[in-house]
Chain A
Amino acid sequence: MSEQVKVHGALAEFDGPQALMDAAGKMRKAGFSKWDTHSPFPIHGMDDAMGEKRSPLGWFVSAAAFTGFALALYFQYWTSAVDYPLIIAGKTYFSYMAFFPITFALTVLFSVLTTVGGMVVLIKHAFYHPVFYSNNFAKASDDGFFVSVMADDPKFDASATSDFLTSIGGTNVELLQEVEG
């Protein structure tokens, strides 16, 4: 049985943070859409160089925060002023001052859970990534600076994209291949 080779994308290594920044600018100018940069540490200004939009996560989180705030306040109001009114320390039933700590805690809890959950949804459950087919890529957590292009990018072509990556200064250009037996 002959082996079928599936190409997921291409990967190229660059010399350092500045080379990666320059490469990101050229990738963007060349019109690629499904590509990414990988570096051992965050590089200031990389989001702008790549033309990345800001994540919408903040809006989800603020919506969740206000929901948590309102729910906590409402629930405490309902338990202590509607369902089972109880006089505590001579205060009014709806003593919102006393409710603040729980309201605050629930606001934070909703925000945190939404941040984690929203992140998982926004990265489309991508717990695995084709760059891990490359043996060279392990350097990305040490001293390697990489650009990867995915095969589902409309401009992707195995040989032309590899040549392009070499032309903008990439070394160790390789195709990310999955071998299906």
Chain B
Amino acid sequence: MQFNQETYTFTDPGRFGKIMLIVGIIGLLLSAVGIAVDAHQFFASYLVNFTFWATLGIGGLFFVLVHHMTGAVWSVSVRRIGEAAMATLPMVGLLAIPMLLGVNQIFSWTDSAMMHADPILEAKLGYLNVPFFIIRTVVYIGVWILLSILLRRLSLAQDSSWGENAPSRFLRVSGPGTIAFAFTVSFAGFDWIMSLQPLWYSTIFGLWFFSGAAVTIYAFFAITSHALAKKGVLAKEITQEHRHDIAKLLFTFMVFWAYMALSQYLLIWYANMPEETAFFKDRWVGTWTFWSVFYPVAGFVLPFVLMMSRHIKRNRWFLTFWAVYLLLFHWFDLYWNIVPTFHPDNAIFSWMDLTLFVGMGGLMLWRFWAVFTRHPVLPVTDPNLQDSLDFVNQ
């Protein structure tokens, strides 16, 4: 790997991308064996890992949209990392194909006999049917890819010209884009995860799904900025002050996630209506009981108390630790929401959870690295770049 500190470009992207590609292909090939061994388990693991890696691309898009919408200054120096993260969305589209092919294995609402047997479920058939589900998924991912391409193209055009006019051009995409983003992400959460239990519904579920994506992207920033700095890339441009801001936002969205999860729980607990409490009752059997107690403690109590201090947030090793921790917890969060419909008696972890995680992650990181190293890693003509480099927390 060779990096030019003057132009902020990679002269040689190094082996990382190739290694990730090979790891990804091996991981997916191993997982493919799983279809033959246990297709039921394969699709459970697939949905968990697909939604996990999708939130990386979604989170990247969220960051770039909000960056332009708010006219943020501090985040100019990490913007290209966010843009490369959202450029993984076409890969998300590719990885969605097996989910769409296995839709009959994953979602119980594809069983028409079951749907017609219950008047409530029968009424939902207009929304929960395979063709419409596929159309919606294509629309969601299509909108995200479109937004990411437009924003990325503007960002690269900025490098060669019109540095000063940048904000208004970005706003023209990011303004309507934010609205489209809010709807598509909410409904992706409803479709991909909530519809696993077709009788159950929670209006806050889309926000819960989004909060996981936000946690993912800030955790990703913390980890990549640390790893890149060790290789001498953006070591002086992403300072302790930027990492402090990343840490604050990571902490914020961890709390936001807890707020969403608690709001969902509290209202259902209070009202105590059978069609709503079913969700939590399903997670209070067998070994799921243990993981349901683990869930709020590991997801909120521990990180809230231990990550609050300014000293922790400003220390790059501690921050990297909490970023990895929260990423792993985000994976578990999806697991806890998805897998009980596949294994209703006890929590079962499978080797396919791991191989699919590595397989999809390899492809996603390969794509990330390919996009990230292709162009300057800083928007060198951005009018706010100097202010971002000089940024200091008060």
Contacts and interface: CB of A to CB of B under 8 A. Distances in A.
A62 B309 CA distance: 10
A89 B272 contact: yes
B394 interface: yes
From A44, A54, A62, A90, name the one whose CB has the most chain B CB atoms within 10 angstroms. Answer: A44
B10 interface: no
A126 to B, nearest CB: 22
A44 B265 contact: no
A111 to B, nearest CB: 12
Contacts of A89: 270, 272
B197 to A, nearest CB: 21
A154 interface: no
Contact of B262 (A62, A90, A100): A100
Interface residues of A, number: 11
A150 B394 CA distance: 26
Contacts of B308: 62
Contacts of B266: 97, 100
A98 interface: yes
Given A42-B394, A62-B308, A98 B262 contact: no
A17 to B, nearest CB: 13
Contacts of B265: 97
A56 interface: no
A44 B391 CA distance: 9
A45 interface: yes
Interface string B263-307: 001100110100000000000000000000000000000000000
Contacts of A90: 272
B316 to A, nearest CB: 19
A97 B266 CA distance: 7
Interface in A22-66: 42, 44-45, 54, 58, 62
A89 B265 CA distance: 16
Interface in A93-107: 97-98, 100
Contacts, number: 17
A106 B392 CA distance: 33
Nearest to A44: B392
B394 A98 contact: no
A128 B265 CA distance: 51
A110 to B, nearest CB: 16
A154 B341 CA distance: 73
B14 to A, nearest CB: 36
A104 to B, nearest CB: 10
Interface string B322-350: 00000000000000000000000000000
A58 B311 CA distance: 12
Contacts of A98: 270
A44 B308 CA distance: 23
B272 A97 contact: no
Nearest to A101: B266
Contacts of A100: 262, 266
A97 B392 contact: no
A9 to B, nearest CB: 27
A62 B262 CA distance: 22
Interface of B: 262, 265-266, 269-270, 272, 308, 310, 392, 394
Interface of A: 42, 44-45, 54, 58, 62, 89-90, 97-98, 100
12 contacts: A44-B392, A54-B310, A58-B310, A62-B308, A89-B270, A89-B272, A90-B272, A97-B265, A97-B266, A97-B270, A98-B270, A100-B262
The 4 A-B pairs with the shortest beta carbon distances in the complex, nearest first, are A44-B392, A97-B269, A45-B392, A97-B266
Given A90-B272, A97-B266, 15 more contacts: A42-B394, A44-B392, A44-B394, A45-B392, A54-B310, A58-B310, A62-B308, A89-B270, A89-B272, A97-B265, A97-B269, A97-B270, A98-B270, A100-B262, A100-B266
